[in-house]
Amino acid sequence: MISIIVKKEITDLMRDKRFWIIATVLSLLSGLACLTAWQSNARTNAERMAAQQMSRDGWLNQPPKNPHTAAHFGNFAFRLKTSLSMFDNGLDSYTGTSVFLEPHKQDDFKFSQAEDATSIIRFGELTPAFVLQCIPPLLIVFVCFNAVSVEKENSTIKLLLSQGTSVPQLVAGKIVGYWLVVSLLIMPVFVAVFLMMPPPVHATRGDTGVRFVLLLVNYLLYAGIVITACVVVSAFSQTSRSALIKLLGLWMLACVVVPKVTSNLGSTIYQTPSQYAYAKLVKHDEANGLDGHDPADARRAVLLRQLLTRYQVDTVTALPVNFDAIAMVESERYTTQIYRKRLGEVRSIFNRQNRISQFATFLNPFQTVQYTSMALCGTDYAQFTYFQDQAERYRLYFVNTMNEFMATHTKSGDWKTKFGQEVYRHIRPFNYREPAAGWAIGQQGPAFIALMSWLLVCFVLVKATKRVRIL
Amino acid sequence: MKANSTVTLLRFDWLQLKRSHAFWQLTALLLVISGYAAFYGRTEVEQQQQKIDLLKHDIDSSMRVVSLELQKRDTTAAWHYDDFLFSLHANRPDGTAALAFGQRDLHKFAVSITTGTYFYNKYATGYENKTLSGEIANPQKQLAGHLDTSFVLVFLLPLYFILISYNLLSSEKEGGTLLLLAGQAVSIPGFMLTKLALRWLIGAVLGTLIILAAATITQAAFDYRLFCMVLATWLYVGCWAGITAVVTAFHRSSGFNALSLVSAWLLFCLAIPATLTALLNVVYPVDAKAQLTAAVQKANARVFATPKPLLASTFYQQYPLYNNIPRDTFPNGWYNPRWVRAMHLLLDKEVKPYDARYHAQLAQRIRSTDGLDYCSPAVLAQSIFNRTAASDMQQMLAYDTATYHHFALWRDYLDEKIFLHQNTLTKKEFERLPQYHFTPVIDYTQINRRLVALGLVTLSLFASSYGMMKRPLFRKMI
């Protein structure tokens, strides 16, 4: 019986003019989104790769210098876009594009694309993800609002039920029918993205394919959840008009109001520190030590004593190594701990701010798909911090390599001996490696659990339709 | 239609609306969200003000120390190894900004002006002055945007309007009363416009109340800016009334009207702006950024590595005004203020053209995108709110430019003391340290132009709907 209902729904939908109009709009917008995202992705990556190369060339072509001074030339780490960011840009426009890596300090990411944009950016950016998150739910509302209610209004439901069908079966059949048709609209978008998707520009774990398939499943499930909600609301509504108003209200709340409220609530409750306050704390820690009772001079004196004992000499000049360079290596380790602590505090505030939205994924499927989609495309906050951490590790690596070279190849007080490209070449270029899909999913655990919970809710909702009153 | 009938119709329509639970529920929901929006805007403004105050407090303390020192001795150093002379440069948000927070969260708003290299601190390291590099912000929150009063007015008020007006004529038709009405001495277009006028009035009054309540909560000044916002709201609601009139003129079912109006909302509030953003990124990329980063890095390395005698001759060639010590080669390393200042000046001078290019591209982009505001009434309304609240991109750019001017004033004043007065600053000179306050200049011409555009769009929509309803086909449909 269900299969007959499915076939009937598909035929009805294919004959529905509204469906074709919306399908055309959806296709046009998706096509435009794919084209612009592809163009923008390609240009941005080309520009950033060129800038990364420029930075590398600058590093290698420095005139001979003392290794620590050479480290001060610094390196930039540019954040290249992932292949799937063409599908979902996520936070990429807001996270900054590059960070300057230099001795002694950890810099911030600069040059976010949003900084250069006019206020129009706050309306959203046209990406395939944006189109698939916002338009299909409305399309589904348009075609499903009277799925069951019209049968009630025309009294055809009694005929259907007299054939031995139960309301849950009827509802399930309609859901499957609509879902198959809507899936047919979603699939071409993914085919287009698959064909246009650029190859990865940085090292991956070879799981872009897995991410892509999961992304497709994610959106198909999202469509299924929305369809179920619409058909169930239609079943419980006495008239099509009341079903439509309820569904439009739900759509507005889910797609427009709740995401903003939850996100804004987070920042209202947990205040972000100012850049100045953050810098002040770091400066204070550097001067007084992490515990506030370990001043920089004292740390340096302890290190000197340890080295003199280790090499069994009495003076700095008698050391076989450059004490200044060793002190800088130690200082770098110490300041890294400071930055880790302070940055950790900022991240913890951000995570608390984001947690409200993350848990709202259990209430709002729109937010569920937003989070899961960003995670799979590598454009969420967790993967931004993953990049930030890799850039920081690279900073430590190149700065300490240069300091250690200076420590072992010069003597204390020697800041004049210079080394050239032979030393600069020791430093390998910065290469970012994307995290594994499993890690990315784990970081957005609540959202993926919410997605699964929504499926369960759908089954419960369909079962609950046996309570629908047929007058 | 006679005036009496109009009043009767209005009264009857209002009675019907008053009896509708959905109407009051929707109104209550909108008011609750508006209350939260005002509270959110006030919190955001307060948080920025607190951050500015913290910086101001520390700057004042530092300057008080110098002032006390100058009570004891008449002079102090104009440049010290550790900076200790500062000036605050802030883009302080006011109560009106709380109504439309705009782009304020994407840009810095409190800078500590001091000597040093401006561009290296701003674009690369922030080693000496982190306040120049930008504010700490949660990207997830930035992506979500603000639920401030302007969001309620631009996004939610039209939805509210749609929900109370989608069935102006269709409900009469579906209830079988339209033919009865047509038999009375009432013209159907007039009837529809009367009903629409009542809903416009409800929307406009509600919008005005929302703005006034928010302004009271956020302590915004009740001035011309607020009037512009109220006027924009009236016209914007008028625009949606016009769209509703056009859809109603098709004389289809309530379902069709609701779907068409929500589609129009989706088109104007999401699809068109999002498409424009995507196209802008393609057509007007800001590609000078990469060059800027490379230029900053190279200039710093080059200047820093230049041997002192060579640096001295290059510097004095470019800044002959400061060449008051014959054959100066900047001895004594970091503790020689002339050497440090010379390096910073040369570095900034070298990077300035790249910065100018980046800013020119940005300004060009903004200029070119100005016209795009007119593509959608929602973008137009948002643009009016942001411009009025001085939280649009132009103001952010103006603040950025003003920051550099403040820095340049400060730098030139102190450099004159460093180079020409043996690095001494007297008490009198300390008291005359240049101060610069950033005050946003609101471009009312642009705002008025947009208000007129909104008005024209509204008028043309009403004219079209009236034309459609006067056609014989419409009468036939009834």
Instruction: Check whether A397 has a pLDDT greater than 70.
Output: yes
Interface touch B259/A244, C-beta < 8 Å: yes
Per-residue pLDDT of B55-101, as tens digits, reads 999 999 999 999 999 988 888 999 887 778 999 999 999 989 999 99
Q: Considering only CA atoms, which of B79, B93, B98 is closest in space to residue B51? A: B93
Of the candidates A121, A251, A280, the beta carbon closest to that of B277 is on A121
Give the whole-angstrom CA distance, residue A381 versus residue A387: 10
Residues whose CB is less than 8 angstroms from the CB of residue B252 and which lie 6 or more positions away in sequence, other chains included: B170, B260
B 117-156 → A contacts, CB under 8 A? 123-127, 130-131, 133-147, 151, 155-156
Asked if pLDDT for residue A367 goes beyond 80, the answer is yes
- pLDDT above 80 for B128: no
Would you place residue A364 in the very low, low, confident or very high pLDDT band (cuts 50, 70, 90)?
very high
Q: What is the pLDDT of residues A257-306, one digit of tens each?
A: 999 999 999 988 999 999 999 989 998 888 887 666 667 788 888 888 99
Between A126, A244, A263, which is nearest B258 by CB?
A: A244
Mutation to test the B interface, candidates A27, A121, A283, most B Cβ within 10 Å? A121
Determine contact, residues B198/B220, Cβ cutoff 8 Å.
no
Give B419-430 as a 3 state SS string: HHCCCEEEHHHH
- Return d(Cα B110, Cα B400) in angstroms, integer: 11
Task: Tell me if A125 and B277 make a contact (CB, 8 A cut-off).
Answer: yes
Residue A354's pLDDT is 93
B134/A54 Cα distance (integer angstroms):
24
Q: Three-state DSSP class for A363?
A: coil
A210-246 b/e (C-beta count within 10 Å ≥ 16 → b): ebbebbbebbbbbbbbbbbbbbbbbbbbeebbbbbbb
* Distance separating alpha carbons of residues A109 and A93, to the nearest angstrom: 12
Distance separating alpha carbons of residues A167 and A148, to the nearest angstrom: 9
The predicted pLDDT at position A385 comes to: 95
Residue of B nearest to A62 (CA): B301
Interface-testing mutation among A118, A135, A286, with chain B (most B C-beta atoms within 10 A) = A118
- Residue of B86, B130, B302 to mutate, testing the A interface (most A Cβ within 10 Å of its Cβ): B130
Output the pLDDT for position B475.
67
The token pair at A62 is 């420095």
HSE of A279 in the Cβ direction (CA atoms, 13 Å)? 24
User: Are residues B464 and B246 in contact, defined by beta-carbon separation less than 8 angstroms?
Assistant: yes
Most confident residue range from A59-68, A367-376, A413-422, B192-201: A367-376
The residues, any chain, with a CB within 8 Å of residue A34's CB and separated by 6 or more, are A86, A128, A189, A192, A193, A196
Domain boundaries in chain A? 2-467
User: From CA A436, how far away is CA A265, in angstroms rounded?
Assistant: 31
Q: What does the pLDDT read at residue B477? A: 65
- Residue B37 has phi, psi (to 5 degrees) of -60, -40
Q: What is the mean pLDDT of residues B401-406?
A: 94
- For chain B, how many residues are written? 478
Would you kindly state where each structural domain of chain B is located, as residue ranges?
Answer: 3-33+149-283+447-477
Cα distances (angstroms) measured from residue A73 to each of A390, A393, A424, B117, B289: 19, 17, 11, 15, 19
3-state secondary structure of B112: strand
User: Could you tell me which chain A residue has the CA closest to the CA of B264?
Assistant: A138
- Each residue of A377-404: b (16+ CB within 10 Å) or e? bbbbbbbbbbbbebbbebbbebbbbbbb
DSSP tag of A203? B
Q: What is the ipTM of this complex?
A: 0.90
Q: Which helix (H) or strand (E) holds A137?
A: helix A128-144
Give chain B positions within 8 Å (CB) of A242.
none
Contacts of A69 in chain B (CB under 8 A): 304-305
